[in-house]
Amino acid sequence: MDFIKNLFRFIWSKMFLIQLVIAVALTAIFCFVALQWLNSSTNHDQRIVVPSLSKKTLDEVATILEDKSLRFEVQDSTNFNPDYPKYSVIEQNPVAGNMVKENRKIYVTLNPSGYRKVEVPNVVMRTQRQAEPKLKALGFKIGTITKVPDMSSLVLELRYKGKKIKPGDKLTKTSTIDLVVGDESGSRVNLSSDN
């Protein structure tokens, strides 16, 4: 019982109240200083509009982003887009118009120098109906279809720019491949290997 009386007497004493006021004031000052430091070091209210980097070269990207206190990192690209200049930006993240903080990294994807090379599939001795979708799915275009005397209606040869090509050869995506197809006439023809 004496302990509780002494505790209440201490809590209402002038010394305790002064120490409590000092502790609260120091805590408030510390919190204020910490918040001010956080605001200045994290640029809390500062926002920068991300510029459009579309079709810009790396040198132009570096200059534009440096002026805005932003950084960039190049990401690999395997998809060539003919609507964009070679080695120019085709994608960026975050996109243009977004608000970011100072020193934010912008990820850019560059347009390669051209279409990548694709392996020609084995469509020889398949029907034209089977061969065409397989070639198109890989990005090739179908050129002329030449019918030659043969017992079957199968694809007998593939040609690129007039020269015979073999399955496994590599051609640039979007290349035009000509097909030599049998006409089911029954008389087989010998095809030249490099005309």
Q: Both tokens of residue 44?
A: 């809390």
C-alpha distances in Å from residue 109, one per residue of 53, 74, 76, 87, 123: 10, 6, 6, 9, 35
Residue 56 covered by a domain? yes
Together in a domain, 38 and 53: no
Position 42 confidence tier, pLDDT thresholds 50, 70, 90: low
Q: Which residues are registered as beta bridge partners of 163?
A: 160
Residue 189 covered by a domain? no
Position 174 confidence tier, pLDDT thresholds 50, 70, 90: confident
Residue 125 covered by a domain? yes
Residue at which a domain ends, from 110, 125, 140: 110
Q: 89, 54 in Cβ contact below 8 A?
A: yes
C-alpha distances in Å from residue 105, one per residue of 27, 43, 111, 152: 36, 15, 19, 60
pTM, 2 dp: 0.52
Together in a domain, 24 and 7: yes
The pLDDT score that the predictor gives to residue 45 is 60
Residue 65 covered by a domain? yes
Q: Tens digits of per-residue pLDDT, 62-95? A: 999 999 889 999 987 767 888 888 888 999 999 9
Residue at which a domain ends, from 86, 110, 134: 110
Which DSSP state fits 61? H
Average pLDDT over residues 160-177: 92
Side chain identity at residue 91, one-letter code: E
The pLDDT score that the predictor gives to residue 129 is 92
Distance CA 152, CA 49 (A): 64
Q: Which residues are registered as beta bridge partners of 105?
A: 71
Q: CATH number of the domain that 141 lies in?
A: 3.30.10.20
Q: Tens digits of per-residue pLDDT, 105-137? A: 999 998 887 788 889 999 999 999 999 999 999
Together in a domain, 122 and 98: no
Q: Tens digits of per-residue pLDDT, 139-165? A: 899 999 999 998 888 999 999 999 999
Q: Both tokens of residue 125?
A: 């001795």
Side chain identity at residue 107, one-letter code: Y
C-alpha distances in Å from residue 58, one per residue of 48, 69, 72, 79, 114: 20, 16, 10, 18, 17
Together in a domain, 87 and 141: no
Together in a domain, 123 and 176: yes
The pLDDT score that the predictor gives to residue 81 is 84
Residue at which a domain ends, from 110, 136, 151: 110
DSSP H or E stretch at residue 72 = strand 71-75
Together in a domain, 126 and 152: yes
The pLDDT score that the predictor gives to residue 43 is 55
Task: State the residue range of the domain holding 93.
Answer: 48-110
Neighbours of 182 (CB within 10 A): 21
